[in-house]
Amino acid sequence: MSDNAEPTSKLPRKLRKAEAISPRANDFEFLGDRVKPGQRKVFSLPAGTLYTGASADIPVEIVHGHHAGPTLLVCAAIHGDELNGVEVVRRVLTANWLKNLRGTLIAVPIVNVLGCHNRSRYLPDRRDLNRCFPGSETGSLAARVAYLFRESVLKRVDYAIDLHTGAIDRSNLPQIRVNLKNEKATQMARWFGVPIIVDSPSGDGTFRGTGDELGIPIITYEAGEALRFDEASILAGIRGVRRIMESLGLITERTRRRHVHHVIAQSSAWTRAHRGGFLNTILPLGSRIHQGDHLGYIVGPLDKERDPIIAPFSGIIIGKSNLPVVYEGEALFHIARFDAVEAAEQAVESFQTHLEEQIATQLPNRS
Using CB under 5 A as the criterion, which residues of the chain lie in contact with Zn ion when the complex forms?
A: 79, 82, 164
Nearest to Zn ion of 148, 163 (CB atom): 163
Nearest to Zn ion of 78, 344 (CB atom): 78
Query: Cα–Cα distance between 193 and 240 in angstroms, integer?
Result: 6
Q: Which residue is nearest to Zn ion (CB)?
A: 164
Is 97 within 8 Å of 251 (Cβ atoms)? yes
Nearest to Zn ion of 65, 166 (CB atom): 166
Q: Which among 254, 243, 256 is positioned nearest to 100, based on CA atoms?
A: 254
Nearest to Zn ion of 79, 288 (CB atom): 79
Q: How far is the CB of 76 from Zn ion (least distance, A)?
A: 9
Cis peptide before 134 (omega within 30 of 0): yes
Q: How far is the CB of 121 from Zn ion (least distance, A)?
A: 7
Q: What is the dihedral of CA 240, 236, 289, 188, to 10 degrees?
A: -10
Nearest to Zn ion of 79, 243 (CB atom): 79
Buried residues in 303-319 as b, exposed as e (16+ CB within 10 A): eeeebebebeeebbbbb
Is 16 within 8 Å of 9 (Cβ atoms)? yes
Nearest to Zn ion of 82, 87 (CB atom): 82
Nearest to Zn ion of 164, 262 (CB atom): 164
Q: How far is the CB of 222 from Zn ion (least distance, A)?
A: 7
Residue type, position 95, single letter: A
Q: How far is the CB of 69 from Zn ion (least distance, A)?
A: 29
Nearest to Zn ion of 108, 248 (CB atom): 108
Query: Cα–Cα distance between 322 and 300 in angstroms, integer?
Result: 18
Q: How far is the CB of 176 from Zn ion (least distance, A)?
A: 13
Q: How far is the CB of 164 from Zn ion (least distance, A)?
A: 3
Is 326 within 8 Å of 298 (Cβ atoms)? yes
Nearest to Zn ion of 79, 102 (CB atom): 79
Q: What are the residues whose beta carbons fall under 8 Å from the beta carbon of 360, sequence distance 6 or more?
A: none
Q: How far is the CB of 82 from Zn ion (least distance, A)?
A: 5
159-164/67-76 β-pairing: parallel
Q: How far is the CB of 79 from Zn ion (least distance, A)?
A: 4
Nearest to Zn ion of 104, 321 (CB atom): 321
Torsional sign, CA 118, 120, 123, 126: negative
Q: How far is the CB of 122 from Zn ion (least distance, A)?
A: 11
Query: Cα–Cα distance between 68 and 78 in angstroms, integer?
Result: 29
Q: How far is the CB of 6 from Zn ion (least distance, A)?
A: 30
Residue type, position 143, single letter: A
Torsional sign, CA 248, 155, 216, 124: positive
Residue type, position 20, single letter: A
**SS3 at position 155:** helix
Angle at 195 between CA 337 and CA 89, to 5 degrees: 125
Is 188 within 8 Å of 219 (Cβ atoms)? yes
Q: Which among 321, 316, 320, 311 is positioned nearest to 347, based on CA atoms?
A: 316
